Amino acid sequence: MTSPSSGEALAKTAPSGLGRLLDQRVLLSIAVLALLPWLLPSQALAVNVLIYGVVVMGYNLLFGYTGLLSFGQAAFFGAGAYFTGIAIGRYGVPWFAAVPIAVLLSTCLAALIGIVSTRTRGIYFSMVTLALAQLVYYVALQASSFTGGENGLRGFTVDRINLFGFTVNFLDPVNKYYVLMAFAALAMWFQSRILNSPFGAVIEAIRENEQRARACGYDVERSKLIVFMLSGAISSLGGCMLALHLSIVPLDLLHYQTSGMIVMMVLLGGARSFFGPFVGAASFLILEDVISLWTPHWQIFVGTIFVLFVLFLPKGIWGTLLDTLGIGKARP
Amino acid sequence: MDLSLIIMQLLSGIALGAVLVITALGLTIVFGMLGVVNFAHGALFMIGAYAGLYLASLTGSFWWGLLLAPILIGAFGMLIEFVLIRRLYGRSIDDPLLLTFGLSYILVEGVRIVFGSDGIPFPTPPQLVGVLDVGIGFFPRYRLFVIALVAVVLLVLWLTLEKTRIGLIVRAGARDPTIMQVLGVDIGRVWLAIFGLGVGLAALGGVLAGPMRSVNPEMGSLVLAEAFVVTVIGGLGSIVGAVVAGLMVGISISLVALFAPEMATIVMFALMAVVLLIRPQGLFGVRGRTA
Amino acid sequence: MTGELLRAEGIGKRFGGFVALEGITMSFAAGQLTSIIGPNGAGKSTFFNILSGALTPTSGKLHFRGRELSGLPQHRFVHQGISRSYQITNIFPDLTVHENVRVAAQALTVSYDIWRNRARLTELHARADAALDAVGLLGKRGELAKFLSHGQQRALEIAIALVSEPELLLLDEPTAGMGPEETRDMVALLERLADKRTVLLVEHKMKMVLGLSKRVVVLHHGRLLADGAPDEIRSNPEVRRVYLGQSEGYG
């Protein structure tokens, strides 16, 4: 697949009308997300697609674009959720301060984990990220006075959003969806800026040929650490969204099986595409919903589908689709 | 602090470490030879425990379970290699990882369907019940057995690798698979055997661990993290590394549990972080592929 | 550009018990094209790796423009003015030809900017195109690098090294795997390049080397065997002995 340089480049290769439209990937994505509650069978599903889409988008930055297969993204997803819940529930911080604080703290966590794990490469990196994320899980399990331990974090509910003089009843599902969509839009805009930036080119170069990137003059280790932190920050925002949505944070959020689910979503949707994370999240969640209607053992099907995807469709649904349509092949 | 208490805890740690060593060994041998890290390793450990339990109750004897479970599950491992993993050679190094990860979901849920989600106790074999007077105190017989058995397995493995023709092929193949093919060795068979061995060792670990922890479908996930920590500390691909790291981790966990039980599990991750900061390829690892 | 650009003092490299290089002392003046030749295993690639920072010498010192380079991490070498191309093609396969070179150019100016749109950094785009033009690849700028022919990829190799406008350009077997016609094109390119900067070339093809270089250095078993003008080297009995039986290759 190709390097997503500026939108103008994309426009020159795809048919002009379509191309110009696809330029505005952030706006397009927001438009699709705005319609989601009507496109999907249930409201709850739509909210989850938003939340997990943002988490997977952050992960895609690390895995899809930089090529670092981490198995520990759950640590940042969970951190965002827990920090938000603790700030609101325990310290009475209003939501609009809790969220930035949570993202900031999660980014610090990402820095700590990143410093250790980016010293490794390849398979070690995958193993180490899994292990360090499990460490976070065990710490959360033990620190039960803060986190609620096995029972999860409770006792914080945001029922009203006060912003610029308007009061929105957050408990209303439609309101909740669009408030959370605003978060998602912010995350998407941030991600798009990163991908279009000089740094965005650096991470792709690292993915393509780490050794040459270093020889060209890039501090590869530092760049990996930075993208690790950015990825953690974006995924943690997804965690904040989850906390606001559920008013509980289950401990399982930090387990590596959640990390695995994130990996599956990115693969289902197609790594290294802008909207792929949302497609992947939607696919996974719909699958889970549908299959668990007739069996509680949907994990077997998830596992099987995952195995089949690895074997036969490594580019995922969205990626294969883009490929077939010939979008974004050669570019000036 | 009472010295004899510390020594007993040390011994406990060695028993714990012995299981870690056997499990990590399976992982590291497969990586050394095939370049593949099996993310279903924990699940296969768990299946080994269940298989051991099931066979023991079927035949009425723990010993049959101990013998047959690793063989059967090892054979299952060979099937996995042949049908699934083999298709991925030549593709991205991430692919076997992802595939085995997906596989673990299938395996864990499969066990839940057959055996249910609740933990099942694994009875200690009657011959090994009780404690032995080791001079400074009483130590569970079963744990002494585990230490002894793992030592024997290590010895057999070492002898095979160093002294037999098969071992020579394995060692040479790990360095240069192409040469092996040129020399007429059926590399496919070697891979099959090694993967089967790796899985068999995981299953053995599961059976041995059974009487020490309860058997439940979730036990594999902790084991996977433990196996990863031990192999990363020891150095992927290094057998010596797996042994040293396994014992180190087991003893550390055991000693920390004396003073601060909540911190016990966490300490192994801290150890890993420290090793990575100082020596990213692991204690006995080689720079290059992984760090 | 005058004077001494690069000086190697007693450079040695051991890998465990194996001595790849020993006692390499030489200096390179600015503005010349020097070829480094020697049979396989002579240590040429190791020497290049040390000069470009990919390996640290186990003994000896390296001076560039008067400044000692010990302990400098690899990614800082290009910032000093030393750039290198590889014997085995080492490009960014899934990026376009243009992006391959542009990202190399970018490394010298900005790395961690996550905000600006890089399409606006027109100077980098222009420099990339200029480098591609210099190696004759401008027409292919929109193609993915992995789809280029072998000879085109070798040219891209050089463009990537070139775009940083290095004072010292290290080219590791630029004609590796090329047939006679492609080699002739490459030689013409090298002549153009040598006009404007200091070039160090590792090559196997003797005729090419002798025709192109102002100076030839011969390595053998990790040591300096001979050093001088092409004519001197050609008639050097030691060199002839070492190369006896070696084919002259295309040139």
Question: In this complex, do B266 and A142 lie within 8 Å of one another by their Cβ atoms?
Answer: yes
Enumerate the H helices of B93-186 as residue ranges: 94-115, 141-163, 165-175, 177-182
Average the pLDDT over A72-100 and give the result.
94
Strands (E), chain B: 131-133, 138-140
List residues of A whose CB lies inside 8 A of any B CB.
69, 71, 115-117, 119-128, 130-132, 134-135, 138-139, 142, 255-257, 260, 263-264, 267, 297, 299-300, 302-307, 310-311, 314
Question: In this complex, do A194 and C119 lie within 8 Å of one another by their Cβ atoms?
Answer: no
List residues of A whose CB lies inside 8 A of any C CB.
1-3, 5-6, 8-9, 193-194, 196-202, 204-205, 208-209, 211-220, 222-223, 226, 230, 329-332
**Within this chain, do residues C175 and C217 fall inside the same structural domain, yes or no?**
yes
Question: In this complex, do C108 and A230 lie within 8 Å of one another by their Cβ atoms?
Answer: no
Question: In this complex, do C103 and A205 lie within 8 Å of one another by their Cβ atoms?
Answer: yes
Give chain B's radius of gyration (CA, Å). 19
Touching subunits for chain C (3+ Cβ pairs under 8 A): A
CB-CB neighbors (< 8 A) of B91 in chain A: 314
- Residue A12 burial (CB count, 10 A): 12
Query: Which residue ranges make up each domain of chain B?
Result: 19-219
| Ordered structural domains, chain A, with CATH | 7-325 (1.10.3470)
Q: Residue B227 in contact with residue B100, Cβ under 8 Å?
A: no
Long-range Cβ contact pairs of C16-19 (< 8 A, separation 24 or more): C19/C222
d(CA A151, CA A133): 19
B102 touches chain A (CB under 8 A): yes
Question: In this complex, do A208 and C117 lie within 8 Å of one another by their Cβ atoms?
Answer: no
**Within this chain, do residues C172 and C127 fall inside the same structural domain, yes or no?**
no
- Share of residues in chain A with pLDDT > 90 (%): 57
- The C-alpha of A188 sits at a distance from chain C's nearest C-alpha, in angstroms, of 14
Query: Among the ranges A290-294, A312-316, B178-182, which has the highest mean pLDDT value?
Result: A290-294
> Exposed, middle or buried, C54 (CB in 10 Å: 0-12/13-18/19+)?
middle
Average the pLDDT over A276-292 and give the result.
92
- pLDDT surpasses 70 at A272: yes
Query: Partners of C19 in the beta sheet?
Result: C14
Question: In this complex, do A216 and C107 lie within 8 Å of one another by their Cβ atoms?
Answer: yes
CB-CB neighbors (< 8 A) of B30 in chain A: none
Q: In which element (H, E) is residue C6 found?
A: strand C4-15
- pLDDT surpasses 90 at B151: yes
d(CA B212, CA B144): 12
d(CA C176, CA C88): 8
Average the pLDDT over C41-56 and give the result.
90
Give the nearest chain C residue to A10 (CA atoms): C142
* pLDDT in the model for residue A153: 92
pTM of the predicted structure, to 2 decimals? 0.89
pLDDT band for position B288 (50/70/90)?
low
Q: In which element (H, E) is residue A161 found?
A: strand A160-163
**Nearest one of C14, C8, C6 to C32, comparing CA atoms:** C6
Average pLDDT, chain A: 87
- Kindly tell me the sign of the dihedral angle through the C-alpha atoms of A119, A125, A127, A132: positive
* pLDDT in the model for residue A327: 60
Tokens of C61: 């010192």
d(CA B153, CA B145): 12
Give the nearest chain A residue to C159 (CA atoms): A216
DSSP string, A95-129: HHHHHHHHHHHHHHHHHHHHHHHTTS-HHHHHHHH
Number of domains forming the structure of chain C: 2
C72 touches chain A (CB under 8 A): no
Residue B55 φ then ψ, to 5°: -65, -35
Q: Which of A125, A130, A297 sits opposite B109 (nearest CB)?
A: A297
**Within this chain, do residues C33 and C151 fall inside the same structural domain, yes or no?**
no
Q: Residue C160 in contact with residue C100, Cβ under 8 Å?
A: yes
Q: Which of B101, B270, B280 sits opposite A120 (nearest CB)?
A: B280
Q: Which of A123, A255, A297 sits opposite B112 (nearest CB)?
A: A297
- Kindly tell me the sign of the dihedral angle through the C-alpha atoms of C94, C96, C100, C106: negative
* pLDDT in the model for residue C123: 94
- pLDDT surpasses 70 at A183: yes
- The C-alpha of A254 sits at a distance from chain B's nearest C-alpha, in angstroms, of 13
For C85-95, how does the pLDDT look when each residue is reduced to its tens digit (9 = 90+)? 998 899 999 99
Indicate the Cα dihedral angle C239, C244, C249, C251, nearest 10°: 40
* pLDDT in the model for residue A330: 36
Residue in C48, C84, C112, C144 to test binding to A, most A beta-carbons within 10 Å: C112
* Range of the structural domain that residue C69 is part of: 1-81+168-180+195-251
Q: Which of A119, A135, A138 sits opposite B276 (nearest CB)?
A: A119
Give the nearest chain A residue to C112 (CA atoms): A199
d(CA A117, CA B37): 17
- pLDDT surpasses 90 at B285: no
3-state secondary structure B156-169: HHHHHHHHCHHHHH
Average the pLDDT over A168-183 and give the result.
88
Q: Residue A69 in contact with residue A249, Cβ under 8 Å?
A: no
* pLDDT in the model for residue A11: 35
Enumerate the H helices of B35-61 as residue ranges: 41-59
Average the pLDDT over C211-236 and give the result.
88
Q: Which of A2, A208, A217 sits opposite C107 (nearest CB)?
A: A217
What is the widest separation between alpha-carbon atoms in chain B? 61
- pLDDT surpasses 50 at A7: no
* pLDDT in the model for residue A2: 40
> Exposed, middle or buried, A21 (CB in 10 Å: 0-12/13-18/19+)?
middle
3-state DSSP assignment of residue C34: strand
- Residue B132 burial (CB count, 10 A): 15
* pLDDT in the model for residue B161: 83
CB-CB neighbors (< 8 A) of A268 in chain B: none
* pLDDT in the model for residue A9: 41
d(CA C1, CA C168): 11
Question: In this complex, do B110 and A300 lie within 8 Å of one another by their Cβ atoms?
Answer: yes
Query: Partners of C198 in the beta sheet?
Result: C168
Q: What is the DSSP letter of B120?
A: B
C70 vs A265, more confident = A265
Average pLDDT, chain B: 88
B283 touches chain A (CB under 8 A): no
**C106: in domain:** yes
Give the nearest chain A residue to C51 (CA atoms): A215
Question: In this complex, do B37 and A130 lie within 8 Å of one another by their Cβ atoms?
Answer: no
Number of A to C CB contacts under 8 A, please give it.
125
Q: Which of A122, A267, A303 sits opposite B93 (nearest CB)?
A: A122
* pLDDT in the model for residue A10: 39
* pLDDT in the model for residue C2: 55
Question: In this complex, do C118 and A196 lie within 8 Å of one another by their Cβ atoms?
Answer: yes
B31 touches chain A (CB under 8 A): yes
d(CA B56, CA A82): 44
pLDDT band for position A332 (50/70/90)?
very low
Rounded (5°) CA angle A217-A221-A222: 85
* pLDDT in the model for residue A1: 36
Report how far apart, in Å, the C-alpha atoms of C1 and of each of A14, A222, C198 are.
48, 34, 9
> Exposed, middle or buried, B49 (CB in 10 Å: 0-12/13-18/19+)?
buried
Q: Residue C53 in contact with residue C235, Cβ under 8 Å?
A: no
A44 vs A239, more confident = A239
- pLDDT surpasses 50 at B109: yes
Report how far apart, in Å, the C-alpha atoms of A33 and of each of A42, A51, A145, A173, C76 are.
14, 11, 38, 15, 44
Question: In this complex, do C78 and A200 lie within 8 Å of one another by their Cβ atoms?
Answer: no
To the nearest 5 percent, what fractions of chain B are helix, strand and coil?
75, 5, 20
* pLDDT in the model for residue B175: 64
Report how far apart, in Å, the C-alpha atoms of B218 and of each of B45, B221, B224 are.
11, 6, 11
Tokens of C2: 């005058």
Question: In this complex, do C110 and A209 lie within 8 Å of one another by their Cβ atoms?
Answer: no
- The C-alpha of B63 sits at a distance from chain A's nearest C-alpha, in angstroms, of 32
- pLDDT surpasses 90 at A65: yes
**Within this chain, do residues C158 and C219 fall inside the same structural domain, yes or no?**
no
* pLDDT in the model for residue B79: 95
- pLDDT surpasses 70 at A196: yes
Q: Residue C119 in contact with residue A6, Cβ under 8 Å?
A: yes
- pLDDT surpasses 70 at A20: no
Q: How many helices (H) and strands (E) does chain B have?
A: 11, 2
Give the nearest chain B residue to A117 (CA atoms): B276
Average the pLDDT over A176-180 and give the result.
91
Question: In this complex, do A126 and B236 lie within 8 Å of one another by their Cβ atoms?
Answer: no
From the CB coordinates, do chains C and B have 3 or more pairs under 8 Å? no
User: Among residues 129-158 of chain C, which lie with CB inside 8 Å of chain A?
Assistant: 141-144
**Within this chain, do residues C250 and C150 fall inside the same structural domain, yes or no?**
no
CB-CB neighbors (< 8 A) of A9 in chain C: 119
**Within this chain, do residues C71 and C173 fall inside the same structural domain, yes or no?**
yes
- Share of residues in chain B with pLDDT > 70 (%): 96
Question: In this complex, do A5 and C118 lie within 8 Å of one another by their Cβ atoms?
Answer: yes
Tokens of C45: 């690639």
- pLDDT surpasses 50 at A5: no
Q: Residue A10 in contact with residue A22, Cβ under 8 Å?
A: yes
ipTM of the complex: 0.90
Q: In which element (H, E) is residue C15 found?
A: strand C4-15
Give the nearest chain A residue to B97 (CA atoms): A123
- Kindly tell me the sign of the dihedral angle through the C-alpha atoms of B88, B94, B100, B106: negative
- Share of residues in chain B with pLDDT > 90 (%): 50
For B165-182, how does the pLDDT look when each residue is reduced to its tens digit (9 = 90+)? 878 877 776 666 677 777
A313 vs A308, more confident = A308
**Nearest one of A146, A128, A129 to A76, comparing CA atoms:** A129
Indicate which CATH number applies to the domain containing C236. 3.40.50.300
Question: In this complex, do C94 and A3 lie within 8 Å of one another by their Cβ atoms?
Answer: yes
Query: Among the ranges A229-238, B12-21, B256-265, which has the highest mean pLDDT value?
Result: A229-238
Tokens of A53: 């889409």
pLDDT band for position A329 (50/70/90)?
very low
A319 vs C234, more confident = C234
* pLDDT in the model for residue B198: 95
Question: In this complex, do A310 and B37 lie within 8 Å of one another by their Cβ atoms?
Answer: no
Q: Residue B233 in contact with residue B245, Cβ under 8 Å?
A: yes
pLDDT band for position B186 (50/70/90)?
confident
- pLDDT surpasses 80 at A165: no
**Within this chain, do residues C20 and C123 fall inside the same structural domain, yes or no?**
no
Q: Which of A120, A139, A306 sits opposite B102 (nearest CB)?
A: A306
- pLDDT surpasses 90 at A211: yes
Would you tell me the crossing angle of helices B62-83 and B187-209 to the nearest 10 degrees? Answer: 140
DSSP string, A135-159: HHHHHHHH-HHHH-GGG-B------
Q: Which of A208, A226, A330 sits opposite C142 (nearest CB)?
A: A330
Touching subunits for chain A (3+ Cβ pairs under 8 A): B, C
- pLDDT surpasses 50 at B53: yes
Average the pLDDT over A214-233 and give the result.
96
Average pLDDT, chain C: 88
**Within this chain, do residues C9 and C76 fall inside the same structural domain, yes or no?**
yes
For B215-236, how does the pLDDT look when each residue is reduced to its tens digit (9 = 90+)? 999 888 889 989 999 999 999 8
pLDDT band for position A230 (50/70/90)?
very high
**C185: in domain:** no
A269 vs A187, more confident = A187
- The C-alpha of C235 sits at a distance from chain A's nearest C-alpha, in angstroms, of 37
Would you tell me the crossing angle of helices B187-209 and B141-163 to the nearest 10 degrees? Answer: 170
* pLDDT in the model for residue B183: 75
What is the widest separation between alpha-carbon atoms in chain C? 62
Q: How far is CA A298 from the centre of its chain?
A: 23
